[in-house]
Structure 1
Amino acid sequence: MQAHSHKHFMVVFFLILLSFSVTTYVVIMGYTATIDRYVIEKIIPTHTESLTAAMQFFSFIGDIVPAVIISLICIMIIYLTYKKWQEVFLFIAVMIGSTALNTFTKWMIKRERPESTFVYEAGFSYPSGHTMAAMSLYGIIIFLFWKHTRHAVARVSILVFGITMIVTIAFSRLYLGVHYISDIIGGVLLSGLWLYVTIYVYQYLIEKQSEES
């Protein structure tokens, strides 16, 4: 990779890291309490029976078991279609790393969840695990299938599908009252940072391997 690519990577990396660090700091200090309550209060009037059922479905899709099943299916498709073990390893690294980061950060911050009238959720609140899982899973799906697709319509479809899944799963956690908006923002930033780093390292190693062969 050229020098300007490394500089671009470092600039974006530190911007995302700074954003996550600031978000985490204001959460720890309690500065987000007002906006967190405001968003929850604004969402409550939108509750309907059908929308609640839909949000419970998307929240379930973002849970660990469905996410693992979807990941395994995608890994099989990637390997059987493109025969690239490097991409399989990338996929696995993204998902395992994202899960580890979420578990560690939750343990460090130990933020209590809001009280939900829909479902009971154990564990800590910040950052949102469902949001991180969705961001990592559908983010890497977008990246891998985009790079193997040349048709504009197919690429747009992949992008729209991935973004829709990320946004809907994240919103479902707000709607069901098991996360604050700051939990969602923290999850997007942390998983986005990890996704960005792993993809960059992957591309760097692939280019280096290509130059040496």
Structure 2
Amino acid sequence: MQNEIKIIINKVRQLLSTVFKHQNEQLPYIVISIVAILIVIGSVNVFIELTQNLKTNALAEFDTIITDYILTYRTPSLTQYFIYITNIGDVFGYLIVFILSNLAFLMIFKNWKYVIQLSVVLVLALSSNLILKRIINRSRPELEHLVTVETLSYPSGHAMTAMAFYGFLIYLFYTFRINPILKIGIIILLTFLILSIGISRIYLGVHFPSDIVGGFIAGFIWVILCGLIFNFIRVFRKDPRTKF
């Protein structure tokens, strides 16, 4: 056992010495990675803190105030709009956007890398949301549900998956070398879509606002974490000197 630990320590030491030997090239990645890790740690702490306070009076009051405010805007036309938006954040909506996005990636970049990355983010978000729902076991709001729901409430699967999936698309488009106006337009559109999907769940009476906040935080964690991992893979594959 001691020999195995020594081998691991030596490998880590060799990795660090190799990376810092070429710090002029690798330093930006190191700094970005440290910042990303700190963001992930902070986001996880906020999510845990929010989860621990789900049954407090303060959070219940927050949920009530926000929900009552949003429900005052219920109209037939707005209801139809939010039903449409919430369907975009459902299985078939993601399937359509997923196929269109991946076709665009393959046609423009002729590379499966982005297809695989987007698939990984989507699978991680969906599977982890189901696990979190079962562990936390929060019931839905006792309001009129304007759409059919079958799962538990916290964190919101729509909000979490929207933030993870569309948030990672924002990250990808941010890194693409395309027309700046087109890039900004797409980022604004996807950001608006994420927020609209979250609001739609409150408007339709199937989620507490804290469900949405929790879902957004959890989805954001996957965006940062997956972006960090994929960048590490790219750096290590690009520079053979940084191999373990």
What TM-score comes out, normalization by structure 1 length? 0.94
Unaligned runs of 5+ in 2: 1-25
1:144 Cα offset (Å): 1.9
1:28 Cα offset (Å): 4.9
The 8 Å contact of residues 67 and 133 in structure 1, kept in 2 or not, is answered as no
How high is the sequence identity, in percent, across the aligned residues? 26
Distance in 2 separating the partners of 1:68 and 1:150: 25
The 8 Å contact of residues 17 and 193 in structure 1, kept in 2 or not, is answered as yes
Distance in 1 separating the partners of 2:222 and 2:58: 25
1:183 to 211, 215, 230: 211
Deviates more, 1:33-42 or 1:195-204: 33-42
2:68 to 37, 41, 44: 41
Q: Deviations over 1:151-185 (max 9, x none)?
A: 22112101101101001111100111100110000
Matches within 5 A, 1:16-55: 16-28=43-55, 31-55=58-82
1:99 aligned partner, one-letter code: L
Secondary structure of the structure 1 residue equivalent to 2:155: coil
Secondary structure of the structure 2 residue equivalent to 1:46: coil
Matches within 5 A, 1:60-99: 60-99=87-126
Off by >6 Å, runs of 4+ in structure 1: none
What TM-score comes out, normalization by structure 2 length? 0.82
The 8 Å contact of residues 127 and 183 in structure 1, kept in 2 or not, is answered as yes
Q: Please name the residue that 2:189 is paired with.
A: 161
Distance in 2 separating the partners of 1:165 and 1:45: 21
Distance in 1 separating the partners of 2:42 and 2:162: 22
**Is 1:150 paired with 2:178?**
yes
Q: Deviations over 1:26-51 (max 9, x none)?
A: 11556521111121111221111111
Distance in 1 separating the partners of 2:181 and 2:136: 42
1:123 aligned partner, one-letter code: T
Deviates more, 1:42-51 or 1:140-149: 140-149
1:80 aligned partner, one-letter code: M
Unaligned runs of 5+ in 1: none
2:137 to 81, 98, 110: 110
Mark the CA change 1:191 to 1:30 in structure 2 (over 3 Å): closer, same or farther.
Answer: farther
C-alpha RMSD of matched pairs (Å): 1.6
1:4 Cα offset (Å): 2.8
